[in-house]
Amino acid sequence: MPKKIINKVVEKKASRKPRNFTRLRGMKDILFEEHKYWDLVERKTRDLARIYGFNRISTPILEKLDMYERSTGKETDIVSKEMYSFVDKSGDKVALRPEATPGLVRAYIEHGMFNHPQPVKMFWFGPCFRHDKPQSGRYRQFTQFDLEMYGEEGPVADSQLILIAYNFFSELQINVQVQINSIGCRDCRVAYIKKLTEFYKERGKRSRLCNDCKKRFLKNPLRLLDCKEETCREIREDAPQIVDFLCDSCREHFIKVLEYLDDLEVPYALNPFLVRGLDYYNRTVFEVVALDEEKSFENKTEEVVEASVESEVEVSEEEVEENEPGNVSGRKLLSLGGGGRYDGLVEYMGGRPTPACGFGIGIERVIMKIKEKNIPLKAEDENILFLAQLGDQAKRKIFALFEEMRRSGYHVRQAFTKNSLKAQLEEANRLNAKYCLILGQKELMDETILIRDMESGTQEVVDFKKIYTEIDKRLKNN
């Protein structure tokens, strides 16, 4: 047989062989049990957004690549190293969104929202993509909850956003620390960057920097401050602090933000080295980091906890899966959320000058923390009534009863595909049912139904017509 044909036959055979498909690295499936946590957290985001007057907005997952280059910043790690970008079939350069803010600014401009009453307050929830090294709590697809406020330059906006972020975590019983800094405006940064570069040029500090920081020194010296490398952090210790270089109006703004936070009793820690890894920020920047149990907010501190944000130990993909939930010890300061002011971005992206600020919170990390603490979820499955049947006739009758009870608002469950009573009771147990209503041949003939208390195992026969009174009586007594 000619070689070409042999190859074709081999290929065909190979394609018929069963294959195992697994999910991509750094991406996760959210299975049934975990969705309970997602429901809880999503509910909290929606409630807070509603209470504080933020309206929900959604944007496409795919956007133009140059939009991120211009906003997040071409030199940032997110854009230069982590973006999922490609040329689509029409030849457009596009990217899966690595963060929500640029798309929201685009939407604000594109839909003429400067004509709406200001501030425009947006609530956003959705997946983001960053091709980073997967670690425990770091995924390539992850979900963010964002709140953004456009058209308000007063410090009250910054403080309110920080307050909401803080409330979000404390109401979910997660111990956090809010770290805060001001990186000033373009004007005050000029003098600071000059001083900072002079500092790094002194006594061979520059040559000791990591390779990334050597590049940062030339392209974006401010980012030398948030490097995670040990040596770079050591050098940074004596670096000049930007708060000492703030112009009068930036200093006043920052002081006001802190005063509001004090009034609102939101604990925070000043972190003079917090600059955040995105290009668009000015003035207030903040990050919410997870604290270990023993470091609760009882001791309000203005000191920075001595460790870098996200100083996790790198783990393999398998470990990432195994580590969830629980074994994430040693990672005291995992960043759960971050944000700040970005007054120049709307104009820089083609809109009218519009002050803005916001934050983003990583939902997977929040859920990881809730699981770690073993916080019992509020039972959504209270007062479950399980409807069981034996035989065809009973099945038909209980089918109708199920629909009737469901419409009347009872928490009914069933397993009509199972015929054996034992299997149905097992299912009722699994669902944590309070009572099981059992209809068999005998009950059908007598026009009765059996009510079984699933906890005690006691059973009572009641008149089928009185089923609602009997059930209500029992539920009321509990």
List interacting residues with ligand HAM (CB under 6 A): 99-101, 130, 132, 138-139, 142, 144, 146, 148, 335-340, 358-362, 364-365
Rounded to the nearest whole angstrom, what is the least distance from the CB of residue 114 to ligand HAM in the complex? 18
Angle at the Cα of 32 (from 31 to 38), degrees rounded to 5? 85
**Interstrand relation of 435-439 and 384-389 (parallel, antiparallel or unpaired):** parallel
> How far is CA 447 from each of CA 183, 399, 439, 440, 451, rounded to the nearest angstrom?
76, 16, 9, 10, 13
**Interstrand relation of 356-362 and 120-129 (parallel, antiparallel or unpaired):** unpaired
What are the structure tokens assigned to 387, written together? 């409807």
Rounded to the nearest whole angstrom, what is the least distance from the CB of residue 152 to ligand HAM in the complex? 14
| CB closest to ligand HAM, residue no | 362
Rounded to the nearest whole angstrom, what is the least distance from the CB of residue 348 to ligand HAM in the complex? 14
The DSSP 8-state label assigned to residue 448 in this structure reads E
Tell me whether residue 221 or residue 358 sits nearer to ligand HAM (CB atom).
Answer: 358
Rounded to the nearest whole angstrom, what is the least distance from the CB of residue 400 to ligand HAM in the complex? 48
Rounded to the nearest whole angstrom, what is the least distance from the CB of residue 132 to ligand HAM in the complex? 5
DSSP per-residue codes, 68-115 = HIIIIITTSHHHHTS--EEE-TTS-EEEE-S-SHHHHHHHHHHTTGGG
What are the structure tokens assigned to 48, written together? 């807070």
Tell me whether residue 99 or residue 279 sits nearer to ligand HAM (CB atom).
Answer: 99
Tell me whether residue 132 or residue 292 sits nearer to ligand HAM (CB atom).
Answer: 132
Residue 371 identity: K
Question: Please, what is the end-to-end C-alpha distance for the chain in angstroms?
Answer: 80
Contact 82, 131 (CB under 8 A): yes
Give which of 304, 72, 298 is closest to 181, Cα–Cα: 304
Tell me whether residue 101 or residue 414 sits nearer to ligand HAM (CB atom).
Answer: 101
Rounded to the nearest whole angstrom, what is the least distance from the CB of residue 476 to ligand HAM in the complex? 44
Query: To which H or E segment does residue 256 belong?
Result: helix 248-263
Give which of 269, 214, 290, 201 is closest to 240, Cα–Cα: 201
**Interstrand relation of 120-129 and 55-56 (parallel, antiparallel or unpaired):** parallel
What are the backbone dihedrals phi and psi of residue 411, each rounded to the nearest 5 degrees, phi first? -85, 80
Tell me whether residue 267 or residue 362 sits nearer to ligand HAM (CB atom).
Answer: 362
Tell me whether residue 94 or residue 105 sits nearer to ligand HAM (CB atom).
Answer: 105
Q: How far apart are CA 65 and CA 115, in angstroms?
A: 27
Tell me whether residue 28 or residue 214 sits nearer to ligand HAM (CB atom).
Answer: 28
Q: What is the 3-state secondary structure (H, E, C) of 369-419?
A: HHHHCCCCCCCCCCCEEEEEECCHHHHHHHHHHHHHHHHCCCEEEECCCCC
Tell me whether residue 132 or residue 229 sits nearer to ligand HAM (CB atom).
Answer: 132
What are the structure tokens assigned to 292, written together? 């270990």
> How far is CA 54 from each of CA 50, 124, 198, 345, 353, rounded to the nearest angstrom?
6, 9, 44, 20, 21
Tell me whether residue 221 or residue 337 sits nearer to ligand HAM (CB atom).
Answer: 337
Rounded to the nearest whole angstrom, what is the least distance from the CB of residue 437 to ligand HAM in the complex? 45
Rounded to the nearest whole angstrom, what is the least distance from the CB of residue 147 to ligand HAM in the complex? 8
Tell me whether residue 76 or residue 448 sits nearer to ligand HAM (CB atom).
Answer: 76
Tell me whether residue 104 or residue 266 sits nearer to ligand HAM (CB atom).
Answer: 104
Q: How far apart are CA 448 and CA 465, in angstroms?
A: 8
